[in-house]
Amino acid sequence: MLTKNNLFKKIFFMRFRYKLIIFLLSLISSLFSLLVPFYQKELIDYLNLIREFSVNYQYLKYILFIFVFSFISQIFLYFAKYVALKEGSFLQTWLSNFTYAKALRIKSDADNKISVGESLSIYATDIQTSVTFIDDIFPNFISYLIPVMLAPFAIYFITGLNPLIIFSIVGGILAINITLGLKQGRLFFKNKFYSSLRIGVVSEWILNIRIIRMLGWTEGIEKKIKVYRELETLNRISMVRNAAVINSIGYSSPFIINIFSIYLLYKVDPASFTAGKIFSLFWLFSVLLTRPMRMIPIMFVSITDSFTSIRRIQNFWEQELEEYESKLPSFEYSSFFIRIKELYYIKENKILLENISLDIKSNEFVAIIGEFGSGKSLIIQALLNLIKTNYKEFTINNRSLNDISLSELRSYFSYVPQDFFVINSNLRDNVAFEFNYTSTNDERVNNCLELSQFKHENEQFLLGLESNIGERGINLSGGQKQRISLARACYSERPIILLDDCLSALDVNTQEKVINELLNGYWKNKIRILVTHKLSVLNSCDRVIFIKNGKIVENGNFRELIKNSQDVRNFLSNIVLQE
């Protein structure tokens, strides 16, 4: 588990030799850049001393030194940025891979689980922003900071002026600009917050535009968007105003310091007041210090942004994870048997599943019924080990759950959830879900679709398996999505089938065909567990389990339960009234 700021330390000290190389290259670049004004002064003073101009060794020496030191400074700065970009690319790849690996193992019932939207923003922006500290801020900050720190001493060496006076002036101006830069950072994050609110509302509007229009909610949504947009615009105006002040101070302060230094030089030592010293001062302040004094405050905004992204990534990593080993499913058993004894699930001091005991064997079709919120879907999640439960015994084929790796456990199950999951691709990809798919499996895909009562000609999918189903299944009805989900479970060929209320959108005739041909046909030798509210399914099940307030109240044949259980009769009466 990473503690506070540990990820930053990990990023900074990982492959530390490269950070050291970046620092040394930037330092050498800055030192050579400070030698340029010294030889400029010497050249100009030399030209003032000679009476008539002639090309000689001394003259060429100064020109050569100015050129070589400028060239070396730029070369070292270029290599510093090149190494920084390479290191940033490595870190971005490392962060992406590590974050992706953790995303696949986040517990579904984790207390600190981060929302899907925030997870996407971490991938979209935070990973890239976090490494700007290495590939952009680190080399530039050094190349900006070192000249600012060494310039007063260079001024003293060249002109003889007291560096403390110049240093205090430069420090005071930088302090003002850094304060404004920190304010800019706060405005920047406020702008990101307002922007995310606005984009969130716009996204919801786009996704549900049909319903919003039908219900006449367009005006209300537009007003909400306008409010967020106005807040964002006012904040942007403050950002522009503050940035203008930062740029004004950054651009003008070197010239003000320059004039002050020349005046100071003239007053302190008028005898040594030469053209070479004046030109060197102009070069130091106008060329060497203008960009650092303007950019260092802005760098603080980038540093804050980078640190925020690092903290967000660290928070994402600190979510509760499942232990997982990725491997292909292999089944050693021809039949399966599940046994659960005294299973409990407690969350936030509330008992959601209590004393659950089950024995289910192959060839059994078991339905789980109960009121909304009674714990039916939680039993499915417990079987998949998606939630942390306590139990006296939990075995599959007499093997304890503790002795089965999570990847092996999951390989036993096909799961059809309540929420339909489809991807923006063709019908084949949505059933097979294989990256290295071969067309030889098309017959198997078509067979699973037919067993799920999804036939191309009846569904108006003229292109067959090549038919595109649209983003988020926009071209599909609810019933079509459910049948594709069933076909996907059929294609995966697992020994235990978990069905979480996945027949709700099917009409009676289609439902009957799915039960006869798939659930009690193709899957007849498998364990089938169905959570449902549809009474018409229950007669086709071998057993019905009735859940009430997280407890198994009844467990037996459907007809016997109707005959012997008042709780079941009351529940069925309520379902009939609701229908």
Say what the pLDDT of residue 155 is.
Answer: 72
Strand (E) or helix (H) holding 553? strand 551-556
Do residues 167 and 152 touch, judged by C-beta distance below 8 A? yes
In a domain, 435, yes or no: yes
Name the burial class of residue 272, with classes exposed (0-12), middle (13-18) and buried (19+) by CB atoms within 10 angstroms of its CB: exposed
Q: Decide which of 493, 524, 543 is a domain's last residue.
A: 493
> Which residue would you say has higher pLDDT here, 529 or 327?
529
Q: Look at residues 475, 474, 537 and name the one whose alpha carbon lies nearest to residue 503.
A: 537
Say what the pLDDT of residue 219 is.
Answer: 77
465 lies in which domain range?
423-493
Question: Do residues 96 and 243 both lie within one domain?
Answer: yes
Here the CATH number for the domain that contains residue 17 is 1.20.1560.10
- Beta-bridge partner residues of 400: 395
In a domain, 324, yes or no: no
Residue 272 has pLDDT above 70, yes or no: no
In a domain, 230, yes or no: yes
In a domain, 502, yes or no: no
Amino acid at the residue 291? R
Question: Do residues 246 and 97 both lie within one domain?
Answer: yes
In a domain, 24, yes or no: yes
Q: Indicate the number of domains in the chain.
A: 2
Give the single-character DSSP code of 321: B
Say what the pLDDT of residue 118 is.
Answer: 64
Residue 365 banded pLDDT, cuts 50, 70, 90: very high
Do residues 505 and 452 touch, judged by C-beta distance below 8 A? no
Question: Do residues 133 and 266 both lie within one domain?
Answer: yes
Q: Decide which of 477, 493, 509 is a domain's last residue.
A: 493
Residue 191 has pLDDT above 80, yes or no: no
Say what the pLDDT of residue 32 is.
Answer: 86
Global confidence as pTM: 0.64
Question: Do residues 76 and 196 both lie within one domain?
Answer: yes
Helix (H, G, I), strand (E, B) or coil at 342: strand
Here the CATH number for the domain that contains residue 432 is 3.40.50.300
What is the mean predicted confidence (pLDDT) over 365-384? 91
In a domain, 417, yes or no: no
Q: Decide which of 475, 493, 511 is a domain's last residue.
A: 493
Question: Do residues 95 and 227 both lie within one domain?
Answer: yes
Q: Look at residues 467, 527, 521 and name the one whose alpha carbon lies nearest to residue 497.
A: 527
Q: Which two tokens stand for residue 220?
A: 């209300």
In a domain, 501, yes or no: no
Say what the pLDDT of residue 341 is.
Answer: 95
Radius of gyration of the chain (CA): 36
Do residues 318 and 2 touch, judged by C-beta distance below 8 A? yes
Q: Which two tokens stand for residue 1?
A: 């588990």
Give the mean pLDDT of the chain.
81
Question: Do residues 39 and 170 both lie within one domain?
Answer: yes
Question: Do residues 309 and 431 both lie within one domain?
Answer: no
Say what the pLDDT of residue 1 is.
Answer: 47
Residue 258 has pLDDT above 80, yes or no: no
Helix (H, G, I), strand (E, B) or coil at 371: coil
Question: Do residues 308 and 431 both lie within one domain?
Answer: no
Q: Which two tokens stand for residue 416?
A: 């059809």
For residue 355, report the phi and psi dihedrals to the nearest 5 degrees: 55, 50
What is the mean predicted confidence (pLDDT) over 253-258? 72
Cβ neighbours around 289 below 10 Å, total: 22
Tokens 């540990």 sit on residue: 6
In a domain, 195, yes or no: yes
What is the mean predicted confidence (pLDDT) over 502-510? 87
